[in-house]
């Protein structure tokens, strides 16, 4: 196909503004998928994505469209992940296309993720077509939202297309705008092959499937290709386009987007952003700006039942086949036994992986407090990454400690602004900027990632009743006065509860933790001291008094079945606890103790 008949685009939107619904409509109205095969939210293929209503993996679809001018076009839609954790995948997908539809809910307006994603689209040099969705809603106010787009993003919205992805209203105008307002791709079919690795995933039947965008040259089935970053060479077994089911195709030329398989063993052997070329006649320069995605949030995962360790290992290895973005290594904890230290792109990523392990592999897991990666500058000049507070060396060897900082953008109705400012202040935030658009405020904060990874997002949602939106990017590593705080239960340090904290906040944090733990740990037959300490110095202490009565005592001995039930309940409750020396700590304690109110 000639380049001027191709349009490649993505859809950028805040979560819930209707990206997937619009994608479904575009697919449906062009007859790409037969009506009877149409399934709502076609592009969010994984169950968990559908359940949570979020898009995790980038998907794509090739749409054949005959425009009003009578010409046939090929439209390639790349569906980008909507969440902040997957920013790198978003930025790669954006570089594979020339334009974006900017979808804004006409009853809401621009939100933090709209902003973050639209900036990425602008960075990638996109032409952008604003689309106002959900105009069927009584609360829709397209004129106000147009103004909002101009004020907040600085984008001309006078030609924004009003649509309802739900009813189908305005969909033909969107298709025409894709053809007439977005530019065609550029590329040279006679140059050596240069293609971008946009995404890859594991398919149970086909093995690893790699999605590519051809920049220059032509790739054919059977070609020997080389991945420039990894140096690996493969023969292409299958070449296809996604409609969205795979449809074999003999070749792909410049501007085209498709997938191939090549007996690649695991997703880990492919790197998003890598350049693919021919083994024999390579291109001279790889595509610029390749960077592997690095995990920023780490936590320990341990089976509740120590006998499940092998099952956990198995499950993680299976999951790793399909998701190259988390890391894992074995970890042993004095308190929790054998488990894994895992690294994630962000908090949501952590939650998704943990959920999948628990649900798809039927495991009960203990998750230790998420921690960021600290950089330890040792006195001998060495710089070490600290992934686990339990591994913190003696302070006498450490010169200083750096932590990752983020630049956060929060958009919120101004009624809640005070609560947001307080929340950010409490988390050691530094305000960078505050602007208004209508009655919504946009604030930017410089915050330590460590203060955000735990429950910041939950807090943000609860103090604003869900009206705030939040997005962030990692800005830099910066030195601060950080120390390791240990928690001792019955004089024994519980390594899984140790954490890095700012020295000025250690006492308050330690106090809150021991108070929480006192409520979370059930009484035992003896007295249990619960302490927070820095080095050898105890900074907070609570004592859990000894239990006096049997749990069944209050049954007055009368009702035997009730007594039995109670004992069984107690037994079941026990399964979720771990033994620490002589003390049993329930699983919830590990997470709950770290939540700050
Ligand atoms: P993520 O996949 O989480 O990024 O969300 P999304 O932006 O893809 O949103 P999605 O398409 O899942 O739509 C979110 C909700 O809005 C769903 O309940 C849709 O049914 C609804 N919705 C989408 N478009 C319209 C519309 O035009 N009108 C109305 N009334 N509802 C819509």
Query: What's the per-residue H, E or C state across 569-597?
Result: HHHHHHHCEEEECCEEEECHHHHHCCCCC
The whole-number pLDDT of residue 559 equals 55
- 237 pLDDT band, cuts 50/70/90, is very high
Is 333 labeled as ligand-binding?
no
494 near 473, Cβ under 8 Å? no
Maximum mean pLDDT: which of 316-320, 400-404, 473-477: 400-404
User: Does residue 576 carry a pLDDT above 80?
Assistant: no
Q: 69-83, 129-143, 395-409: which range is least confident on average?
A: 69-83
105 CA to centre of ligand 1 in angstroms: 9
Candidates 24, 325, 334; CA nearest to 171 is 24
pLDDT tens across 198-208, in order? 888 887 788 88
- Token pair 């995404």 in the structure block, residue: 199
With a 6 Å cutoff on the Cβ, whether 242 touches ligand 1 is no
Maximum mean pLDDT: which of 109-123, 124-138, 298-312: 124-138
468 CA to centre of ligand 1 in angstroms: 18
Maximum mean pLDDT: which of 270-284, 291-305, 309-323: 270-284
Candidates 515, 391, 375, 513; CA nearest to 448 is 375
Rounded Cα–Cα distance for residues 310 and 338 (Å): 10
Atom number, ligand 1, closest to the C-alpha of residue 21:
11
Rounded Cα–Cα distance for residues 96 and 331 (Å): 39
Three-state secondary structure string covering 436-461: EECCEEEEEEEEEHHHHCCCHHHHHH
**Portion of the chain with pLDDT greater than 90, in percent:** 45
Mean pLDDT within 461-478? 84
User: How far is residue 165 from each of residues 91, 182, 271, measured CA to CA in Å?
Assistant: 25, 20, 34
414 CA to centre of ligand 1 in angstroms: 25
Rounded Cα–Cα distance for residues 301 and 577 (Å): 15
Atom number, ligand 1, closest to the C-alpha of residue 54:
3
The residue nearest atom 23 of ligand 1, judged by CA position, is 18
Coil/strand/helix, residue 105: strand
> Between these two residues, 459 and 38, which has the higher pLDDT value?
459
The whole-number pLDDT of residue 555 equals 45
- 114 pLDDT band, cuts 50/70/90, is confident
Mean pLDDT within 564-568? 60
Is 136 labeled as ligand-binding?
yes
The whole-number pLDDT of residue 567 equals 59
pLDDT tens across 541-558, in order? 999 888 765 555 444 445
User: Does residue 424 carry a pLDDT above 60?
Assistant: yes
With a 6 Å cutoff on the Cβ, whether 136 touches ligand 1 is yes
20 CA to centre of ligand 1 in angstroms: 7
Give the chain's count of helices (H) and strands (E): 14, 34
Rounded Cα–Cα distance for residues 375 and 378 (Å): 9
The whole-number pLDDT of residue 155 equals 92
Candidates 454, 426, 528, 524; CA nearest to 487 is 528
Three-state secondary structure string covering 313-347: HHHHHHHHHHCCCCEEEEEEECCCEEEEEEEECCH
With a 6 Å cutoff on the Cβ, whether 19 touches ligand 1 is yes
Q: 51-55, 83-87, 180-184, 228-232: which range is least confident on average?
A: 51-55
Atom number, ligand 1, closest to the C-alpha of residue 24:
11
- The residues facing 541 across adjacent strands are 531
**Portion of the chain with pLDDT greater than 70, in percent:** 86
User: Does residue 34 carry a pLDDT above 50?
Assistant: yes
Mean pLDDT within 228-236? 93
- 582 pLDDT band, cuts 50/70/90, is confident
Could you tell which of 14, 15, 21 is best to mutate to test the pocket of ligand 1, judged by most ligand atoms within 8 Å of the CB?
Answer: 21
21 CA to centre of ligand 1 in angstroms: 5
The whole-number pLDDT of residue 595 equals 60
With a 6 Å cutoff on the Cβ, whether 80 touches ligand 1 is no
> Between these two residues, 318 and 437, which has the higher pLDDT value?
318
Mean pLDDT within 61-83? 88
User: Does residue 593 carry a pLDDT above 70?
Assistant: no
- 565 pLDDT band, cuts 50/70/90, is low
User: Does residue 402 carry a pLDDT above 90?
Assistant: yes
Mean pLDDT within 229-256? 92
457 near 470, Cβ under 8 Å? yes
Q: ipTM of the predicted structure? A: 0.96
User: Does residue 188 carry a pLDDT above 90?
Assistant: yes
Q: DSSP labels for 384-436?
A: EEE--GGGPPPGGGEEEEEEEEEEEEEEEEGGGHHHHHHHHHHTT-EEEEEEE
Coil/strand/helix, residue 29: helix
CA 456 from chain centre, in angstroms, equals: 15
The whole-number pLDDT of residue 57 equals 41
The whole-number pLDDT of residue 56 equals 36
Mean pLDDT within 211-215? 95
Is 281 labeled as ligand-binding?
no
Could you tell which of 28, 165, 174 is best to mutate to test the pocket of ligand 1, judged by most ligand atoms within 8 Å of the CB?
Answer: 165
- 388 pLDDT band, cuts 50/70/90, is confident
- 417 pLDDT band, cuts 50/70/90, is very high
CA 524 from chain centre, in angstroms, equals: 40
Is 226 labeled as ligand-binding?
no
The residue nearest atom 4 of ligand 1, judged by CA position, is 15
With a 6 Å cutoff on the Cβ, whether 15 touches ligand 1 is yes
pLDDT tens across 362-383, in order? 898 888 878 899 999 999 999 9
Is 8 labeled as ligand-binding?
no
Rounded Cα–Cα distance for residues 262 and 29 (Å): 33
With a 6 Å cutoff on the Cβ, whether 469 touches ligand 1 is no
> Between these two residues, 472 and 582, which has the higher pLDDT value?
472
CA geometry: angle at 62 spanning 57 and 66, to 5°?
150
Backbone angles phi, psi at 472, to 5 degrees: -150, 160
Mean pLDDT within 253-282? 91
pLDDT tens across 119-171, in order? 889 888 999 999 999 999 999 999 999 999 998 888 999 999 999 999 999 99
The whole-number pLDDT of residue 248 equals 94
With a 6 Å cutoff on the Cβ, whether 113 touches ligand 1 is no
- Token pair 């990666």 in the structure block, residue: 373
- Token pair 């798809």 in the structure block, residue: 360
The whole-number pLDDT of residue 550 equals 55
With a 6 Å cutoff on the Cβ, whether 232 touches ligand 1 is no
The whole-number pLDDT of residue 558 equals 52
Is 133 labeled as ligand-binding?
yes
With a 6 Å cutoff on the Cβ, whether 170 touches ligand 1 is no
pLDDT tens across 480-511, in order? 999 999 999 988 888 878 889 999 889 988 99
The whole-number pLDDT of residue 52 equals 39
User: Does residue 97 carry a pLDDT above 80?
Assistant: yes
Mean pLDDT within 318-337? 81
For β-strands 6-13 and 99-105, DSSP reports them as: parallel
User: Does residue 106 carry a pLDDT above 60?
Assistant: yes
């Amino acid at each position: 196909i000639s380049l001027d008949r191709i349009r490649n685009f993505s859809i950028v939107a805040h979560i819930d503004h209707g990206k997937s619904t619009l994608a479904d409509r575009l697919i449906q109205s062009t007859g790409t998928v037969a009506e009877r095969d149409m399934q709502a939210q076609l592009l969010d293929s994984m169950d968990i994505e559908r359940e949570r209503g979020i898009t995790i993996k980038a998907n794509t679809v090739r749409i054949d469209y005959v425009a009003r001018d009578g010409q046939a076009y090929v439209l390639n839609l790349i569906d980008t992940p909507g969440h902040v954790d997957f920013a790198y995948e978003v930025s790669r997908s954006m570089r594979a296309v020339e334009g974006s539809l900017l979808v804004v809910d006409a009853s809401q307006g621009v939100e933090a993720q709209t902003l973050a994603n639209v900036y990425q689209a602008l960075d990638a040099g996109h032409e952008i077509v604003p689309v106002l969705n959900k105009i069927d809603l009584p609360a829709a106010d397209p004129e106000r939202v147009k103004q909002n787009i101009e004020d907040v993003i600085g984008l001309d919205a006078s030609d924004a297309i009003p649509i309802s992805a739900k009813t189908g209203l305005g969909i033909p105008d969107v298709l025409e705008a894709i053809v007439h307002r977005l530019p065609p791709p550029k590329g040279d079919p006679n140059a050596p092959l240069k293609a971008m690795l946009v995404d890859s995933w594991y398919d149970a039947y086909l093995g690893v499937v790699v999605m590519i965008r051809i920049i220059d040259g032509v790739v054919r089935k059977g070609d020997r290709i080389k991945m420039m970053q990894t140096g690996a060479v493969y023969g292409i077994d299958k070449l296809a386009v996604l409609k969205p089911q795979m449809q074999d195709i003999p070749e792909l030329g410049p501007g085209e987007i498709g997938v191939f398989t090549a007996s690649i063993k695991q997703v880990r052997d492919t790197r998003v952003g890598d350049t693919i070329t021919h083994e024999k006649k390579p291109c001279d320069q790889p595509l610029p700006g390749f960077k592997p995605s690095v995990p920023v949030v780490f936590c320990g995962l341990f089976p509740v039942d120590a006998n499940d360790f092998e099952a956990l290992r198995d499950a993680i290895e299976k999951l790793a086949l399909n998701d190259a973005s988390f890391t894992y290594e074995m970890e042993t904890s004095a308190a929790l036994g054998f488990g894994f230290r895992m690294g994630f792109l962000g908090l949501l990523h952590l939650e998704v992986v943990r959920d999948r392990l628990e649900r798809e592999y039927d495991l009960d897991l203990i998750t230790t407090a998420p921690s960021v990666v600290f950089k330890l500058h040792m006195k001998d000049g060495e710089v070490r990454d600290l992934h686990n507070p339990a591994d913190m060396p003696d302070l006498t060897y450490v010169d200083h400690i750096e932590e990752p900082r983020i630049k956060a953008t929060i958009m919120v109705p101004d009624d809640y602004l005070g609560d947001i400012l307080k929340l950010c202040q409490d988390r050691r935030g530094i305000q960078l900027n505050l602007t208004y658009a209508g009655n919504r405020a946009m604030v930017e904060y410089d915050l330590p990632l460590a203060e955000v990874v735990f429950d910041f997002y939950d807090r943000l949602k609860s103090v604003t009743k869900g009206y705030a939106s939040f997005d962030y990017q990692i800005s830099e590593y910066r030195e601060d006065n950080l120390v390791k705080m240990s928690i001792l239960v019955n004089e024994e340090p519980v390594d899984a509860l140790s954490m890095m904290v700012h020295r000025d906040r250690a006492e308050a944090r330690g106090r809150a933790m021991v108070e929480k733990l006192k409520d979370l740990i059930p009484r035992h037959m003896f007295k249990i001291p619960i302490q927070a300490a820095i080095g050898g110095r105890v900074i907070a202490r609570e004592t859990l008094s000894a239990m006096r009565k049997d749990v069944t005592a209050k049954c007055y001995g009368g009702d035997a079945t009730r007594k039995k039930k109670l004992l069984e309940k107690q037994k079941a409750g026990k399964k979720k606890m771990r033994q620490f020396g002589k003390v049993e700590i329930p699983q919830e304690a590990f997470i709950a103790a770290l939540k700050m109110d």
